[in-house]
């Protein structure tokens, strides 16, 4: 009886463990793919807001202190998420613009 249990039930137990591990790995990969898509979307939105704001301030010719704070709030997560050089150059140009008290 002991050999029967060891031979068949241990095999079944290992099969269940492997199936559960495979299911967990599949779910982890799906979540990772979803996370990557969300990350890309957030980066795209931050880039768009940064681009539009910087374009406006550059065409206007100056920034206020509040404008710079807003740009910093956009730029920090943009850069942390791996934003490209386009956002960097626009941000730096805005930081070089003269300040206005408005």
Q: Is 70 left (phi over 0), alpha (psi -120 to 50) or beta?
A: alpha
Residue with tokens 């070089």: 96
Contact 58, 94 (CB under 8 A): yes
Q: What is the pLDDT of residue 14?
A: 85
Residue 101 has pLDDT above 70, yes or no: no
Quickly state the pLDDT bin for 27 (edges 50, 70, 90). Answer: very high
Q: What is the pLDDT of residue 24?
A: 92
Length of the chain: 102
Residue 1 has pLDDT above 80, yes or no: no
pTM for this predicted structure? 0.73
What is the number of alpha carbons within 13 Å of residue 81 lying toward its C-beta?
A: 20
More confident residue, 41 or 102: 41
In eight-state DSSP terms, residue 98 is P
CA 31 to chain centre: 13
- Computed over every residue of the chain, the mean pLDDT equals 89
Residue with tokens 């982890």: 28
């Amino acid at each position: 009886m002991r050999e029967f249990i060891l031979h068949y039930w241990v095999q079944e137990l290992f099969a269940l463990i492997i199936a559960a591990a495979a299911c967990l790995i599949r779910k982890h990969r799906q979540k990772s793919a979803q996370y990557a898509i969300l990350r890309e979307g957030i980066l795209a939105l931050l880039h768009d807001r940064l681009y539009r704001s910087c374009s406006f301030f550059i065409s206007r010719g100056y920034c206020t202190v509040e404008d710079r704070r807003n740009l910093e709030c956009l730029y920090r997560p943009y850069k942390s998420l791996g934003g490209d050089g386009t956002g960097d150059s626009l941000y730096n140009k805005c930081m070089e613009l003269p300040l206005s008290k408005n």
